[in-house]
């Protein structure tokens, strides 16, 4: 849409801003017209980009737009104003992300969440753990865009999603970080020898007794009500991002000499639907 670019040399930032909003509402953030307009804006000096973002901020301040349009504006500003020191909509964007923290997955009106996170990272701010958790669950619940995958790849911490008591407890002690990272890497139904050897070394490094007590304590909290309630996914028993770590911890525990507390917690997990892989459930049944 040439009219978006045609105003690039004028001082009418408000009109340019409104044209981009109309194009984004008609299509999407990936529409050719919007992409062209945002690319043109990105090539402008910081002063001009800041003026464009301020035009959007003035529009939102009037309070006449629907929530869907407001979110569209925030997405556009996140792209056009990325890296600006003078970002007039930074606080509004953070407020939108903060609302995401209370959702099971990203459920705002405009479906390009990666641009919001990218804008925060460009400003040197890390989104909160609950926000990161919501975006991770979003990526697991749908076919994520390449942009969302790339952005989430930058968010390696926390190693678990917060909000489940067992995960909160595990994250509270930094001594177990390496063990938790390794636990999340168990992807197969039965871990391979290299995975098992590394797990054994990590357990030995902390002391077998202490590692067992920690793992039993965490697994004993599985299934308790969430510490951070969320909306939007009725009946979700476990955070899907954390399930691989749970399975890895269960495999670590089952490789240790059996003792009553550990056997009890493993038995309870074995009965929890498909939480544990079939091979592990069979092993636990044979030990019962």
Q: How confident is the model over 233-280, as pLDDT tens digits?
A: 755 678 999 999 999 999 999 999 989 999 899 888 887 766 666 767
Domain's final residue, options 104, 127, 153: 153
| Mean pLDDT lowest among 29-38, 254-263, 277-286 | 277-286
21 plus 71 within the same structural domain = yes
Q: What is the pLDDT of residues 185-204, one digit of tens each?
A: 997 778 889 999 999 999 99
Q: Which residue has the higher pLDDT, 132 or 279?
A: 132
The tokens describing 135, both together, are: 């975006």
**Three state DSSP letters for 34-66:** HHHHHHHHHCCCHHHHHHHHHHHHHHHHCCCCC
12 plus 127 within the same structural domain = yes
Q: Are 222 and 166 in contact (CB under 8 A)?
A: yes
126 plus 249 within the same structural domain = no
123 plus 247 within the same structural domain = no
Cα radius of gyration rounded to whole Å, the chain: 24
258 plus 188 within the same structural domain = yes
How many distinct structural domains can be found in the chain? 2
What phi and psi, each to the nearest 5 degrees, are found at residue 264?
Answer: -65, -45
The pLDDT, as a whole number, for residue 221 is 96
103 plus 228 within the same structural domain = no
The pLDDT, as a whole number, for residue 284 is 66
159 within a domain of the structure (yes/no): no
pLDDT band at 2 (very low <50, low <70, confident <90, very high): very low
Structural domain boundaries, residue 139: 2-153
pTM exceeds cut of 0.85: yes
Q: Are 132 and 105 in contact (CB under 8 A)?
A: no
183 plus 135 within the same structural domain = no
107 plus 40 within the same structural domain = yes
The pLDDT, as a whole number, for residue 6 is 44
Q: What is the pLDDT of residues 59-84, one digit of tens each?
A: 999 999 999 899 999 999 999 999 99
Q: Are 206 and 176 in contact (CB under 8 A)?
A: yes
- Angstrom distances, CA of residue 194 to CA of 165, 172, 182, 198, 204: 30, 28, 11, 6, 15
Mean pLDDT taken over the chain: 87
20 plus 135 within the same structural domain = yes
Angle between helices 32-42 and 46-61 (to 10 degrees): 120
126 plus 8 within the same structural domain = yes
240 within a domain of the structure (yes/no): yes
């Amino acid at each position: 849409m040439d009219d978006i670019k045609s105003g690039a040399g004028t001082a009418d930032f408000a009109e340019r801003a409104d044209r981009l909003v109309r194009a984004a509402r008609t299509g999407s953030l990936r529409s050719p017209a919007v992409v062209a307009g945002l690319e043109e804006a990105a090539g402008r000096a910081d002063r001009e980009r800041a003026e464009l973002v301020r035009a959007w901020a003035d529009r939102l301040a009037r309070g006449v737009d629907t929530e869907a349009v407001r979110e569209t504006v925030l997405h556009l500003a996140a792209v056009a104003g990325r890296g600006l020191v003078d970002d007039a909509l930074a606080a509004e964007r953070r407020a939108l992300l903060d609302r995401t923290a209370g959702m099971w997955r990203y459920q705002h009106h405009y479906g390009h969440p990666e641009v919001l996170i990218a804008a925060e990272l460009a400003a040197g701010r890390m989104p909160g753990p609950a926000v990161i958790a919501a975006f991770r669950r979003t990526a697991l619940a749908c076919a994520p865009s390449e942009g969302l995958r790339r952005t989430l790849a930058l968010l390696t911490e926390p190693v678990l999603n917060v909000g489940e008591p067992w995960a909160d407890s595990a994250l509270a002690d930094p001594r177990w970080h390496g063990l938790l990272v390794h636990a999340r890497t168990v992807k197969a139904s039965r871990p391979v020898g290299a995975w098992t050897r590394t797990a054994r070394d990590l357990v030995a490094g902390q002391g077998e007794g202490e590692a067992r007590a920690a793992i039993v304590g965490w697994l004993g909290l599985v299934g308790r009500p969430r510490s951070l309630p969320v909306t939007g996914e009725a009946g979700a028993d476990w955070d899907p991002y954390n399930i691989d770590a749970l399975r890895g911890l269960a495999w670590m525990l089952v490789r240790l000499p059996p003792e009553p507390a550990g056997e009890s917690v493993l038995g309870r997990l074995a009965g929890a639907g498909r939480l544990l892989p079939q091979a592990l459930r069979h092993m636990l049944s044979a030990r019962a």
